């Protein structure tokens, strides 16, 4: 494994393929991540601002894998994440139902059969973008809770519909909100957080603000730099 791209008392960032880094990690309390959605796969060529922005940071990745290859890739990464979890650890896996090949593909098929999905959390974004003009505007995503048997939340007052507005205008084309990351991490007692698809570093920023330690991995050096600068800022008062 290569040396960290960035490191401080709370955050460590690796530039590279998460499949090369994950086998060297251990004792992860929580994985919180949102992978590429493969929105250009199965012939769904959308173009537009999202894909131009994506290519700016990920020149070698077009978000256009054949579906079977995409499923195999995601299942492989999730297995690697599962293997580095503590006995009371969990994975929060943000994805969404998407249309591909004239049918809805659910995120459930991306999770290996031997990894238990304990809960489906609905992220109500409050708005959306309609790529399929025949149908209704999709305004929600899922957060799949894949957890070890000993995993417990630290609250009984948070329900499974998270009404958190989608954030735009950042330096990554598809960030999830800082408030979503704060909720996911803050409702657990995990001490070490991992995001194998780090992007602009939202998971790491949230972990640092909550006084936790975090590891982020990303294939794009540009986003490693953005995340490092973001994490180097002073901890926010919550």
No. of helices (H) and no. of strands (E), the chain: 6, 11
In the chain, the percentage of residues whose pLDDT exceeds 70 is: 81
In the chain, the percentage of residues whose pLDDT exceeds 90 is: 69
Compute the distance between CA of residue 237 and CA of residue 190 in angstroms, rounded to an integer: 20
CATH numeric code, 6-232: 3.40.50.150
* Over residues 34-40, mean pLDDT: 86
* Over residues 43-64, mean pLDDT: 52
Does an H or E element contain 94, and which?
strand 85-95
């Amino acid at each position: 494994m290569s040396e960290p791209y960035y490191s401080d008392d709370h955050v460590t960032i690796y530039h590279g393929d998460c499949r090369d880094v994950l086998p060297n990690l251990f004792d992860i309390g929580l994985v919180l991540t949102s992978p590429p959605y493969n929105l250009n796969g199965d012939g769904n060529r959308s173009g537009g601002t999202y894909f131009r922005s994506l290519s700016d940071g990920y020149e070698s990745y077009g978000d256009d894998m054949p579906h079977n290859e995409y499923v195999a890739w995601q299942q492989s990464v999730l297995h690697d994440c599962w293997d580095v979890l503590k006995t009371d650890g969990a994975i929060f896996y943000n994805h969404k139902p998407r249309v591909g090949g004239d049918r809805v593909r659910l995120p459930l098929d991306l999770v290996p059969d031997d990894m238990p999905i304990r809960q489906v959390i609905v992220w109500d974004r409050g708005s959306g973008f309609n790529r399929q003009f025949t149908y209704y505007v999709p305004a929600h995503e899922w957060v799949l809770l894949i957890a070890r048997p000993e995993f417990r939340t630290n609250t009984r007052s948070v329900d499974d519909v998270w009404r958190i507005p989608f954030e735009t205008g950042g330096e990554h084309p598809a960030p999830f909100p800082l408030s979503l990351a704060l909720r996911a991490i803050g409702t657990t007692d995990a001490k070490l957080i991992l995001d194998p698809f780090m992007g602009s570093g939202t998971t790491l920023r949230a972990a640092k603000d909550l006084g936790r330690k975090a590891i982020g991995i990303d294939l794009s050096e540009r986003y490693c730099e953005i995340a490092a600068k973001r994490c180097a800022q002073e901890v926010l008062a919550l």
